[in-house]
């Protein structure tokens, strides 16, 4: 049974009690990510995530880390395209410490000029590391290509140019405009006392106010089937291609998950078996759907020898045409649904996994789906749903692509 509570200032609390564990996970979710940015401040959401660990009015960066280390807990954060999350996992007896640390970071970070300049160096190294990982970078280039006219296509880390231009006043203004109470969800999962947790969160977060009420507008991206090649002298050619998918709330989101599992989302998938196991052309080949509040995408990745690039593209297109012509079998449908259900349930066996699930769901969908509801949605996928998704998504004429490597493709235009 989920606990849902809204404070007077519109901050939402979602929680789930699990009495048989000895841990508690707490996350502060903020509905802001790289798609809230523009070309001049790209990367600021991620940079703020870093800066909240760099010292508050009450603690130095070392004291923040040390306080959690002393109790054997975990403290971390991440930034995505649509949200930022700061979270901790501790023993259930240390909930108050975790809440104190997270709220101190959230409300009292100093953003000192000295720390800002130092942390820019750290993030620039992170960008450099990413640039040296073409198997990761190609996904960003693909997103930048197909969503080239929208912030959703911009990299979460930002660029060297935009990062260096960020000033302290930009950070403060961005927080004031986006870290507003209605954009915040507090998610708690584990062994805790309900009344104590709610009263403590209310005590700490009910004071959160904002002076800037102007609504930040988010434009819906338009998927544009563009092919982009980044020439680089790599040992492998890295390919990412894909199609327009579905938004989070779309009724075909789960059918696409089931289809993807069959097509390229697992070791038993058609792409993996054909390209890696049968042909031996790639070590890594897979597909995955990404869903956002108002749009989605289906991406396919493969890494291969540069001279095998066009051959692998031909095999991927061949598998797409095969599934469009003949669909899938009842056995594949059943096995895929069972596999997805198994992976989903196993992922909920940790308090942090459940905290992520209910926090993100409440933040982006204003609703929490119970595990029972999720299982029912997966079980409800029919062959008609799969066939509809196949026809809707797999359109070769509207396929975008990105490649990193020494050679261009002669097939892609």
Helices and strands: H and E segment counts in the chain: 15, 11
Does 84 reside within a domain?
Answer: yes
pLDDT at 218: 78
Alpha-carbon distance 142 to 402, whole Å? 5
Domain assignment present for residue 221? The answer is: no
67 with 192, same domain? yes
In a domain, residue 251? The reply is: yes
| Helix segments in 222-308, DSSP class H | 253-263, 270-271
DSSP state at residue 275: I
**Residue 20 belongs to domain spanning:** 2-205
**Do 178 and 59 share a structural domain?**
yes
Say whether both 156 and 55 belong to one domain: yes
Asked if 18 and 62 sit in the same domain, the reply is: yes
Q: Domain check: are 190 and 275 in the same one?
A: no
pLDDT at 216: 66
- Shared-domain flag, residues 251 and 194: no
Q: Within this chain, do residues 386 and 343 fall inside the same structural domain, yes or no?
A: yes
The answer to the question of residue 67 being in a domain is yes
Ramachandran assignment for 90, one of left (phi > 0), alpha (psi -120 to 50 degrees), beta (any other): beta
Distance CA 44, CA 46 (A): 5
Q: Is residue 130 part of a domain?
A: yes
The answer to whether position 220 is within a domain reads no
Q: State how far the Cα of 351 lies from the Cα of 52, in Å rounded to an integer.
A: 23
**The CATH number of the domain where 65 resides is what?**
3.30.830.10
Intervals of the chain under pLDDT 50: none
Is residue 11 a part of any domain in this protein? yes
Residues 85 and 197 in one domain: yes
Residue 219: what pLDDT?
Answer: 80
Residue 217 falls inside a structural domain: no
pLDDT of residue 215: 64
Q: Are residues 36 and 182 located together in one domain of the fold?
A: yes
pLDDT of residue 347: 87
pLDDT digits (tens, 9 = 90+) for 98-131: 999 999 999 999 999 999 999 999 999 999 999 9
Q: Please, what is the angle between helix 61-70 and helix 95-108, to 10°?
A: 170
278 is a catalytic site residue: no
Q: Tell me which of 154, 173, 205 is where a domain ends.
A: 205
Q: Other C-beta atoms within 10 Å of 148: how many?
A: 15
Residues 270 and 130 in one domain: no
Regarding whether 395 and 258 lie in a shared domain, the answer is yes
What is residue 11's predicted lDDT score, i.e. its pLDDT? 97
Of 16, 37, 39, 49, which one is the catalytic site residue?
A: 49
The structural domain count of the chain equals: 2
Within this chain, do residues 323 and 177 fall inside the same structural domain, yes or no?
A: no
């Amino acid at each position: 049974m989920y606990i849902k509570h809204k404070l007077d200032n519109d901050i939402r609390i979602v929680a789930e009690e699990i009495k048989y564990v000895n841990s508690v996970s707490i996350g502060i979710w903020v509905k802001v990510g790289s798609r809230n940015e523009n070309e001049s401040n790209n990367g600021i959401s991620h940079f703020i995530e870093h800066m909240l660990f760099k010292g508050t009015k009450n603690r130095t960066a070392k004291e923040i880390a040390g306080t959690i280390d002393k109790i054997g807990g975990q403290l971390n954060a991440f930034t995505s395209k649509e949200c930022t999350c700061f979270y901790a996992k501790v023993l259930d007896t240390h909930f108050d410490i975790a809440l104190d640390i997270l709220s101190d970071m959230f409300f009292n970070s100093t953003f000192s000029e000295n720390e800002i300049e130092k942390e820019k160096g750290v993030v620039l190294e992170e960008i450099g590391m990413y640039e040296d990982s073409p198997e990761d970078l190609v996904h960003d280039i693909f997103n930048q290509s197909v969503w080239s006219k929208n912030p959703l296509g911009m990299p979460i880390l930002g660029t060297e140019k935009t990062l260096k231009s960020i000033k302290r006043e930009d950070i403060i203004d961005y927080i004031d405009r986006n870290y507003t109470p209605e954009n915040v969800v507090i998610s708690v999962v584990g062994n805790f006392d309900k009344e104590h947790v709610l009263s403590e969160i209310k005590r700490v977060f009910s004071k959160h106010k904002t002076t800037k009420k102007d609504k930040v507008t988010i434009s819906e991206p338009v998927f544009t089937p563009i092919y982009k090649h980044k020439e680089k002298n790599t040992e492998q050619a890295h390919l990412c291609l894909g199609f327009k998918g579905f938004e989070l709330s779309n009724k075909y989101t789960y059918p696409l998950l089931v289809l993807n599992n069959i097509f390229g989302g697992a070791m038993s998938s058609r792409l993996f078996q054909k390209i890696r196991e049968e042909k031996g052309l790639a070590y890594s080949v897979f597909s995955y759907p990404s869903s956002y509040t108002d749009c989605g995408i289906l991406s396919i990745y493969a890494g291969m020898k540069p001279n095998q690039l066009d051959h692998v593209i031909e095999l991927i297109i061949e598998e797409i045409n095969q599934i469009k012509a003949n669909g899938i079998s009842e056995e594949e449908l059943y096995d895929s649904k069972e596999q997805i259900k198994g992976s989903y349930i196993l992922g909920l066996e940790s308090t942090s996994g459940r905290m992520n699930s209910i926090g993100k769901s409440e933040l982006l969908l204003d609703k929490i789906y119970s595990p029972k509801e999720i299982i029912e949605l997966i079980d409800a996928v029919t062959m008609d749903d799969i066939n509809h998704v196949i026809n809707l998504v797999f359109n070769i004429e509207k396929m975008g692509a990105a490649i990193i490597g020494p050679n261009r493709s002669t097939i892609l235009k």
